Structure 1
Amino acid sequence: MKTIKHGAMAFAVLAAASLPALSQPANVALTVPDAASIPAGPMGDAIKRGKELLSDTRRQLPGNVGNGLNCTNCHLNGGTVAYASPWVGLAGAFPEYRARSGKIISLQERVNDCFQRSMNGKPLAFDSAEMNAILAYMKWLSTGVPAGTNVTGRGFEKIDTALRPDRAHGRAVYAAQCASCHGAEGQGVANPQGGYVFPPVWGKDAFNVGAGMARMYTAAAFVKHNMPLGQGGTLSAQDAVDVAAFFTEQPRPDFPGRAKDWPKGDRPKDAR
């Protein structure tokens, strides 16, 4: 009887060892589906509507957006750019554990996180036509990406969080590299038709203090890979940290809900 038990235990250990680690999903290439693959009919209409909502968010959803931003101000080129928080593959990545929430959340909850934080606005109803359209677009972008995998370039580029910021140098970097688009006072460049040609990075129409972009190292990672627009990768990691330290500490809307963030006690050092 002991032999049988030991044999069964050994078999179980071997079987478990052969399984992939769920905490380390495999990576696949970021591939954007051809627009010609959008189907005709209601599903295709929803996909196109989802892209419109995410690209023209402030005007399309004025009751849910409390600042001057569109989703694609950070999720560049319709959420298709690596290391600019692309939406490719997200449909199969959620539900997912999020340390900031301290729990497993749905993709709908993640979308609403952005509406409440980055857009300083109000959440969408989970069963609304607008939420379904956004999910339809993200699902289409995820065509061919196996569930449980990450696309290469998901989120932002890694940056050395041991780098110490120099805010005075960051101010100089901002003036030289950022102010021409985002304004000397971070106010952005307004569009005569409404909204902004280039988004504000602080002030009342910018993301609030609960947004990921309000964190110095998160903002630095985005800046390092993507800014100045069209010249991503030209700033050093130190320059990116310095300029992020400068603009993330500028005045912006508050987010009272941030008091409940990281309930497990693993709050990052750059959290606002």
Structure 2
Amino acid sequence: MKPARRRRNGAVIAAIGMLVLAAAGTLLHVYRHPTLDAGTAPTLDIIDAQRAVVGQYHTPSAEEIASLGNADAVMLGRRLLNETARLLPDNVGNDLNCNSCHMAEGKRPFGNHYLNTGGGSYPRYMTRPGREIGLVERINGCLQRSMNGTPLARDAPQMRAMLEYMAWLSRTVPDGARVAAAGEGPIDSSLRPDRTRGHALYAAQCAACHGDNGEGRRDGSGDIAFPPLWGERSFNIGAGMARLYKAASFVKHNMPPAASRAPPLGQQVMPDQDAVDIADYFIHQPRPDFTGKGKDWPHDPKPKDARY
């Protein structure tokens, strides 16, 4: 090969190499510092105390946060809810994040959304503690139960940031009104579970993401991508997800997480019986105990699917 041609070929190869490295660096930056927003819900009605429609709710995009006076706090709250285990290692005792159960950054109807959480839903009476509780206590309950960890101080900056994020989601909702979106989807609680069938359905439909032994799956950076459903790194027996029909409702209306029920490409939601059988299988696998369970439902009847 002539020297001039060799130099030209070498320059081409070097240029290609630089392009590949630049592309790889860009992909790594996007992966480690994601800017994509969670999928948002369709436009929803805002209703008053008499259930009259008083407005329309448009789920906000994370891009809007930058224009807020408290943008840093709201963005920190968003990150904490998405990356709870990584950012609060002293308070999270397993491999779950808040948004493992609160789908699409708390924006998804039927997915345990936050759309009304920061807009006057608390304080409220809850039967499990048997008293009125505020939002701080509700968040700490999730840290202690769903994440098998320890509570945050009421005035901790991380707690304040999560409250700011939830308040941002409902900032356009008038006082005394709420977004007409159910937090949990309906499920037929008269169905009796078949745990053996649930095991088979889990293996066919769930194990690819959550693992054959419920251990969950990690991404390329080592962060949990799909949370563990049982074992020492999963939610404890005191979590709401340890209850049969709560878990079945979540499975039916949110799994698989990338599925959409909206036409024209929406999928058929799984039958109630399948969801009940799958839930019955995984909630009865070994998981951590909850030391405070003896104090639950002190005044009100226990739900029929309570585990203790």
Preserved CA contact (<8 Å) 2:196 2:281:
yes
In structure 1, what residue type is equivalent to 2:214?
A: G
Q: Cα distance, 1:76 vs. partner? A: 1.2
Which piece of structure 1 moves more, 74-83 or 224-233? 224-233
Match of 2:287 in 1: 252
Q: String of CA shifts for 1:6-61, please: whole Å, max 9, x gaps.
A: xxxxxxxxxxxxxxx97x87787653124343254761100000000010111100
Match of 2:89 in 1: 62
For 2:200 and 2:84, locate their aligned partners in 1 and report how far apart those are by CA, in whole Å: 32
Match of 1:108 in 2: 136
Q: SS of the counterpart of 2:70? A: helix
Structure with larger Rg: 2
Match of 1:175 in 2: 203
> Which of 25, 38, 43 in structure 1 is aligned with 2:70?
43
For 1:147 and 1:86, locate their aligned partners in 2 and report how far apart those are by CA, in whole Å: 19
> Which of 242, 246, 267 in structure 1 is aligned with 2:302?
267
Preserved CA contact (<8 Å) 2:82 2:98:
yes
Q: SS of the counterpart of 1:270? A: coil
Preserved CA contact (<8 Å) 1:82 1:152:
no
Which piece of structure 1 moves more, 83-92 or 34-43? 34-43
Alignment TM-score, normalising by the size of structure 1: 0.86
Kindly tell me: are residues 199 and 164 of structure 1, through their superposed partners in 2, closer, same or farther at Cα, counting changes over 3 Å? same
Gaps of 5+ in 1: 1-20
Match of 2:8 in 1: none
> Which of 269, 273, 289 in structure 2 is aligned with 1:238?
273
Kindly tell me: are residues 102 and 26 of structure 1, through their superposed partners in 2, closer, same or farther at Cα, counting changes over 3 Å? farther
For 2:166 and 2:98, locate their aligned partners in 1 and report how far apart those are by CA, in whole Å: 13
Q: Cα distance, 1:150 vs. partner? A: 3.9
1:78 matched to 2:110: no
For 1:147 and 1:33, locate their aligned partners in 2 and report how far apart those are by CA, in whole Å: 18
Q: String of CA shifts for 1:98-155, please: whole Å, max 9, x gaps.
A: 1111111101111111100101001111111000000000000112223444433332
Kindly tell me: are residues 248 and 30 of structure 1, through their superposed partners in 2, closer, same or farther at Cα, counting changes over 3 Å? farther
Gaps of 5+ in 2: 1-47, 261-267
Match of 1:16 in 2: none
Match of 1:140 in 2: 168
Q: SS of the counterpart of 2:235? A: coil
In structure 2, what residue type is equivalent to 1:154?
A: A
Match of 1:184 in 2: 212
% identical aligned pairs:
50
Q: Number of aligned pairs?
A: 251
In structure 1, what residue type is equivalent to 2:155?
A: D
Match of 2:45 in 1: none
Kindly tell me: are residues 191 and 267 of structure 1, through their superposed partners in 2, closer, same or farther at Cα, counting changes over 3 Å? same
Q: Cα distance, 1:271 vs. partner? A: 0.9
Q: Cα distance, 1:234 vs. partner? A: 2.9
Preserved CA contact (<8 Å) 1:26 1:150:
no
Preserved CA contact (<8 Å) 1:191 1:197:
yes
Preserved CA contact (<8 Å) 1:171 1:243:
yes
